[in-house]
Amino acid sequence: MGSSPFRWMLAGFCLALTACSGGSNSGSTVGTAPPPTNPGTVDSGCNGSCGNAQSFLSEDDVRKVIAQGVAEARAQGKPSTFVVVDRVGNVLAAYAMAGAPPLVRVSSGRNVVGGLEGLDVPAEFGALAKALTAVYFSSEGNAFTSRTAGQIAQEHFNPGDRTAPSGPLFGVQFSQLPCSDISARFTTGTSAGPHRSPIGLSPDPGGIPLYKAGVPVGAVAAAGADPFYSLDDNAGDRDRNLDEYVALAATFGFAAPQDRRADRITAGGLSLRFTDVEFFELARDPATAPPFTNLTAADGALLRMPGYADPVVLRGLALGTVESGIRPDTTDYPGLDAFVLDDGTGTNRYPPRAGTDGTAALTQNEVRTIVQEALKVAARTRAQVRKPLGSRAGETVVVVDTNGVVLALARSRDALVDAVDVTTQKARTAAFFSGTFTAADVATTGSARYLRAGTPDFVNGRLDLFTVAQSAPNAYVGQLRNFLGLPSAWSDGETAYSLRTIGNLSRPFYPDGVPGTPPGPLSLPFDRWSPFQDGLELDLVYNQIANHVAFYLNQKGLALSLDGAAFAPSPTPGNPTPIPDVARNCTGIPRLPNGMTLFGGGFPIYRGNTLIGGVAASGDGTDQSDLVAFLGLHNAGTSLNTGVGNAPIALRADRLVPLGARLSYVQCPQSPFLDSTAQYVCEGK
């Protein structure tokens, strides 16, 4: 705000003092001086072990966060909706200012039709997706925002560099879905997570993590100051995104330590983005924001979010406690500092178990050994996106069978929370697309029916929906077979597909990042593609996302029509849910209930030449995740000597060279270990 007297007064004041802190737990600076050197504001000193039972947001913390955001939104003249979440995704409060737009429109700005493009979603959905993205992607070693997520999930990395390959988390936006069988659902108050997102993870700026004493304790996000739920498609400039402005103000006193921010971290030699605004650029000083108790009904109100939250303010849960849903292992992984998923009562949701798919199935001991060996690899691996430099990778490891049943899930201390759902997607994707059942299962799915909304009539409580296009997932089977020159692909079981392979086949350019080339067979052509409309990945889950949006809008009191015909009346006491919430299966395919994903870190498991499951890892770098899953499985096979291991080399998809460009299978870091100078550690395995 060039006209803000606060900006210039505070900037001059800070220059006189050399540096100003952004708050008691803040690493962000107020003013134009260099960052402060006070330990705890520049570098928290945390390496993954600072979190404890007191690492949570109190009700007063949540109120302060909202009040600070509201004050900035008022100063900007942009009424907004705010959502605050805890470390495992519980909604601690949702607040809409008076006059805040109730809906935001999904748009990449690329004039693409279909998918989520053009879909109007509740503003609180956009804010919740952004907040979950920020907190699920952050740890004691890295603070990422929804802007960071958008940077690393697009078709080019960096966005705007039209000759660069895709981002390292390409496709991650369609995880944590509302229909996931892995992500938890809302119950009264707070409950064990990680919790689902209404529209997946977000590339839209405006979601920022919250820290206390160097530990991530939650996130806040804003929506509605910007009318679009979008993304930044050019990492080479600075934007004035008002959602980000008001969300940043909300973080005052809870900002990430400077040395953990994404803009102090590189990936693939490129600097990451945190925000395009700093505290000194705000319209007013957030430290002077009136308290939450001063807000009246004329200012706004707490929101009821059906399926997510009541209109109250809650305290957060501390990660690592039983009640949070992620707590230390006490049984299956001794000496590995492992954490497991808990149901909130002390029961491990996914202890090691035997496979369910026949006489060659994985045994319980084999499953346990695969996870143990993968965690051992992670403990030796140098993290890519974590500070301080030389930190070990924090990874989540999942093993599934060919039925998609989760046989085990465990994680390193301080691993990213998003990995709980996405690692399961990876393991299932690797097993599913390597089977003899793939084509038949895809053929059972219905067409994705892309919707667009008319202008909502809030006076009469009505919203009209219109079909703009349809897409049949089964069409991708033929495209794949033609592309690979394999007439029986996905039914003969003769090719092992890793996540690297599936990712290669799902980019809008093949080879990846080469402009003017055709798309991979699982992607749309680039003129019809966007991160909100990407091909098979979205088509498999789109209907459930759209149905969930319809469920929510209906629960908020809107009667819905579809293509001119009545679809659902407003709820009544006799008919409280005209549209039910979505089931815990996003695709309708039992083997792939939480959808697929498109970036590395997952491999099929074989016993000899027989497919028996999938293993995946996700956490501190895509190459690192490849290493943990691939080498962990190899080491387990060597230890067990039962025939279990990676796919035979003759079956791996990297023997295929469509359009003269070889498919990838595994890509491990060149010199990955903290305790060894060994290189090329995955070759020949």
- 156 lies in the same domain as 297: yes
Answer with the one of 251, 280, 302 that is the final residue of a domain: 302
> Tell me, what amino acid is at 606?
Y
pLDDT tens-digit profile of 131-164? 999 999 999 999 999 999 999 999 999 999 998 9
DSSP 219: E
- 345 lies in the same domain as 421: yes
Is-contact 313 85, C-beta < 8 A? no
> Does residue 652 sit within a domain?
yes
Query: To the nearest whole percent, how much of the chain has pLDDT over 90?
Result: 91
Single out the residue of 436, 573, 545 nearest to residue 495, CA to CA.
Answer: 436
> Does residue 267 sit within a domain?
yes
Q: What is the pTM of this model?
A: 0.93
Task: For residues 39-49, give the mean pLDDT.
Answer: 73
The DSSP result for 433-499, as a single string, is: HTSSSHHHHHHTSPPEEEEEE---BTTTTEEEEEEEEEE-TTHHHHHHHHHHT-TTTTTS---B--H
> Does residue 575 sit within a domain?
no
DSSP-based three-state secondary structure for 101: coil
d(CA 141, CA 393): 10
- 298 lies in the same domain as 361: no
pLDDT band per the 50, 70, 90 thresholds, residue 44: confident
d(CA 451, CA 464): 10
Determine the pLDDT at residue 35.
Answer: 33
DSSP-based three-state secondary structure for 208: strand
Q: What tokens were used for 51?
A: 């979190």
Determine the pLDDT at residue 187.
Answer: 81
Find all residues with CB under 8 Å of 684, minimum gap 6, and list them. none
Omega within 30 of 0 (cis) for the link into 194: yes
d(CA 43, CA 335): 29
> Does residue 112 sit within a domain?
yes
- 287 lies in the same domain as 409: no
Determine the pLDDT at residue 10.
Answer: 33
> Tell me, what amino acid is at 512?
D
263-270 contacts, C-beta under 8 A, 24 or more apart: 264/387, 265/142, 265/385, 265/386, 265/387, 267/152, 267/157, 267/168, 267/384, 267/385, 267/621, 268/157, 268/168, 270/157, 270/158
Omega within 30 of 0 (cis) for the link into 36: no
Is-contact 375 632, C-beta < 8 A? yes
pLDDT tens-digit profile of 482-538? 999 999 999 999 999 999 999 999 999 999 989 899 999 999 999 999 999 999 999
pLDDT tens-digit profile of 565-614? 999 999 999 999 999 999 999 999 999 999 999 999 999 999 999 999 99
Q: Is the pLDDT of residue 667 over 90?
A: yes
Q: Alpha helix (H) ranges present in 97-167?
A: 123-136, 146-151
> Tell me, what amino acid is at 278?
E
- 121 lies in the same domain as 192: yes
d(CA 587, CA 576): 26
pLDDT tens-digit profile of 326-344? 999 999 999 999 999 999 9
Q: Indicate the pairing of strand 644-645 with strand 270-271.
A: unpaired
Residue 80 sits in a domain whose CATH number is 3.30.450.150
- 294 lies in the same domain as 343: no
Which phi and psi (to 5°) does residue 196 adopt? Answer: -75, 165
Q: How many domains is the chain partitioned into structurally?
A: 2
> Does residue 393 sit within a domain?
yes
Lowest mean pLDDT among 6-10, 389-393, 529-533: 6-10
> Does residue 293 sit within a domain?
yes
> Does residue 564 sit within a domain?
no
- 293 lies in the same domain as 347: no
- 144 lies in the same domain as 264: yes
- 138 lies in the same domain as 264: yes
Determine the pLDDT at residue 622.
Answer: 95
Determine the pLDDT at residue 4.
Answer: 39
DSSP 175: -
pLDDT tens-digit profile of 187-199? 889 999 999 999 9
Determine the pLDDT at residue 244.
Answer: 98
Apex 443 CA angle, 439 and 446, nearest 5:
145
Run of H or E including 91: strand 91-97
- 388 lies in the same domain as 265: no
- 253 lies in the same domain as 362: no
Single out the residue of 134, 104, 102 nearest to residue 116, CA to CA.
Answer: 104
Is-contact 394 462, C-beta < 8 A? no
Give the structural domain span for 277.
54-302
- HSE-CB of 496 using CA atoms within 13 angstroms: 28
Please give the mean pLDDT across all residues of the chain. 92
d(CA 112, CA 528): 6
Strand order in the sheet with 300-302: 207-212, 215-223, 81-86, 91-97, 300-302
> Does residue 637 sit within a domain?
yes
Strand order in the sheet with 103-106: 120-122, 103-106, 228-229
Q: How many CB atoms lie within 10 A of CB 7?
A: 21
pLDDT band per the 50, 70, 90 thresholds, residue 455: confident
Bridge partner list, 339: 328, 411
- 296 lies in the same domain as 387: no
